[in-house]
Structure 1
Amino acid sequence: MLQGNLVSITAQQVLVMFLLILVGYLAVRCHILDAGARRSFSSLLVNIVVPAMIVNSYMTAFDPEILANLVRTALVSLGVLVAGLAVALAFTCRMRHPDRPLIRFAITFSNAAYMGFPLIEALFGAEGLLYASIFNTFFNILIWTAGMAILDPKASQGNLLLELAKKPALLAVAAGLVLYLGQIPVPALIAQPISLLGAMNTPLSMLITGAIIATSDLRAVIRSGRLWLILVLRMAVIPAVSFLLCLATGTGGMVGAVVILLEACPCAAITSVFAVQFHYDEQLGAGAVVASTLLSIFTLPLCALLVPMMG
């Protein structure tokens, strides 16, 4: 039953993402949008939409009855995320290509929020979503600290704390944690605009990806060994490492399933956005998002088959 639901939900999520990418592609091809608009959209996404999505994800009720599982989820989530970063750094340490930072980012960070959360909600309900939110906390902290240091190494050489304090998304993580841990009620008049802005995250990311594809030579990208390195590590090696880590720590059941499935998701949709923001190969960034999302139709159900082995 788990595998059947997972296949159906994954296929539906992938189809939605590709339709959104198609809209962005056609908008540029039909001259509705200028190809350069992706830079303005990227700035809007990173500085307003993503912070709103992060804050919105923390506006949920805290259940003290499952506190022990929350602690375990926190520890395992941190472990698999750091392990994923270690895999990316280890396999690219001898690479001298100028796009190495983008490649490392694409390998390390999954599309957990959009691809993962609907799967977790459908398969495990509210409790599963709570564990997913804990994973998302560490994911957001890592993406806006280590992820930014990878993509913008010059900035990381200066006052790192000052640079991080300027990141709207990291400020949103801090605000979200205060709201969640303090169970501070947010008035509907404020919560609704935050929710609406946050809901723009995936559509806007996919529109940007489509706009990049409209001006790209994807055939050249597909033939690139760098893309295949990203796909193999992101879609096969990192999920395998996550599974082994959960197995070694005795993390099974719902907690193990949630963490593994979130870490097994395709490349983060924001990869293509950061390729634009930080002036890396935009075609490679878009290609990684599209190709890994397509592959997830096959790899996520395979991960679901392995989850019961943990007991």
Structure 2
Amino acid sequence: MQSDIVNQVIVLCFVMLIGFYGRKKRIIKEEMLKGLTEMLLNITLPALLLATFNSTYSKEVMQNVIKIFFYSLGIHIFFALGSNIFTIKSKDERKKILRFVTIFSNFGFMGYPIMQGVFGNVGVFYASIFGVPFNILLLTFGVILFNKESKEDIDIKKIIFSPGIVFVIIGLATFVFKIPYPKTIYKTLEMVGAMTTPLSMMIVGANFSGVSIKSILKDLDLYYISLVRLILVPLITFGVLSLLKVDTYLLKICVILTAMPAGAMVSVFSERYDSDKSFAAKCVFTTTVLSIITIPIVITLLNKI
């Protein structure tokens, strides 16, 4: 079982390398990359989410939904408030980037594929619930972190109608009210949703084709934030949830999702608010590459409890 999990993560990493190769050889061009990202966020991922909610309703599952929602909310608030501790000696220009990376993982692009590989569709189901507080804090606290001078960018409508929340609500409605999908609709959602995993990993790989390896090797901040993002955050999450005696299955889901590398949104926010976008991109690249080693280790260790 452990070797199967590790192999699954390694396969995802190989798919990422294919994306890297495609971008390097200009098979995947800039315009195409943007189009693939839009397709992932607006077509394949929503299809995957909706397909995962087509399961039998039970009180136990509904209780787990409520639990994992509040676990996620607590985890993200905890690290939002405590992230300053990890960056207390950092330069002002980099501090907000390092705090953002500490709080927000690459949940969308790597979280769902990893969860599907480890737990199947039920893993994606629970991960989608975990993602609701994540998206809310991303679009509120994340904006405040980069743009403290003005709160005008916090758009309540944008938060409510973001794809990560809208499709979870639709899926939950079909689940709670026991609305079955017609077979043809379900098969369509399943087929389109299956594209999410390879597509997301290829996009991640393609995004790193222009990063300078030499500049990364010389930057100690990148080693530090990789330690925090990939080791300390999941370790602290595991410790706190263990003390709270959280169900082992839900604990594993929460810890694995917090063990993901830096979220790609840090680059988007850095670009938008004129921060150090080069350093932000390097944070994403470094943590993603190192996660090839750390994620299988985290999953293997969790499998022993």
SS of match in other structure, 2:15: helix
The equivalent of 1:293 in structure 2 is 292
- 2:87–2:95 CA contact under 8 A, matched in 1: no
Q: Aligned pair in 2 of structure 1 residues 43, 301: CA closer, same or farther (>3 Å)?
A: same
Deviations 1:239-259 (A, max 9, x none): 222222223222244343443
The equivalent of 2:104 in structure 1 is 108
How far 1:75 moved relative to its partner? 3.9
The equivalent of 2:228 in structure 1 is 233
Q: Aligned pair in 2 of structure 1 residues 150, 287: CA closer, same or farther (>3 Å)?
A: farther
How far 1:168 moved relative to its partner? 2.4
- The partner residue of 1:40 within 27, 32, 35 is 35
Deviations 1:36-86 (A, max 9, x none): 532232222223333233222322222235665555444444433433444
TM-score by length of 2: 0.78
The equivalent of 2:274 in structure 1 is none
- 1:218–1:287 CA contact under 8 A, matched in 2: no
- The partner residue of 2:93 within 94, 97, 103 is 97
SS of match in other structure, 2:208: helix
Q: Distance in 2 between matches of 1:253 and 1:163?
A: 34
- The partner residue of 1:136 within 128, 131, 136 is 128
TM-score by length of 1: 0.77
The equivalent of 1:61 in structure 2 is 56
- 1:88–1:233 CA contact under 8 A, matched in 2: no
Q: Aligned pair in 2 of structure 1 residues 49, 230: CA closer, same or farther (>3 Å)?
A: farther
How far 1:175 moved relative to its partner? 1.0
Aligned length: 290
Q: Aligned pair in 2 of structure 1 residues 293, 41: CA closer, same or farther (>3 Å)?
A: same
How far 1:232 moved relative to its partner? 1.4
Structure 2 unmatched runs, 5+: 272-276
Which amino acid in 1 is paired with 2:136? T
Which amino acid in 1 is paired with 2:93? H
Q: Distance in 2 between matches of 1:156 and 1:49?
A: 32
Match runs of 1:167-182 below 5 Å: 167-182=162-177
Match runs of 1:195-234 below 5 Å: 195-234=190-229
- 1:267–1:289 CA contact under 8 A, matched in 2: yes
SS of match in other structure, 2:26: coil
Structure 1 unmatched runs, 5+: none
RMSD: 3.3
- The partner residue of 1:183 within 154, 175, 178 is 178
The equivalent of 1:20 in structure 2 is 15
How far 1:179 moved relative to its partner? 1.5
Q: Distance in 2 between matches of 1:275 and 1:241?
A: 25
SS of match in other structure, 1:183: coil
Q: Distance in 1 between matches of 2:292 and 2:103?
A: 13
- 1:102–1:151 CA contact under 8 A, matched in 2: no
Which amino acid in 1 is paired with 2:286? G
Deviations 1:215-266 (A, max 9, x none): 2213422443343233212222222222222232222443434433443x32
Q: Aligned pair in 2 of structure 1 residues 226, 301: CA closer, same or farther (>3 Å)?
A: same
The equivalent of 1:119 in structure 2 is 118
How far 1:159 moved relative to its partner? 5.5
- 1:267–1:293 CA contact under 8 A, matched in 2: no
How far 1:87 moved relative to its partner? 4.2
- 1:43–1:277 CA contact under 8 A, matched in 2: no
Q: Distance in 1 between matches of 2:135 and 2:253?
A: 22
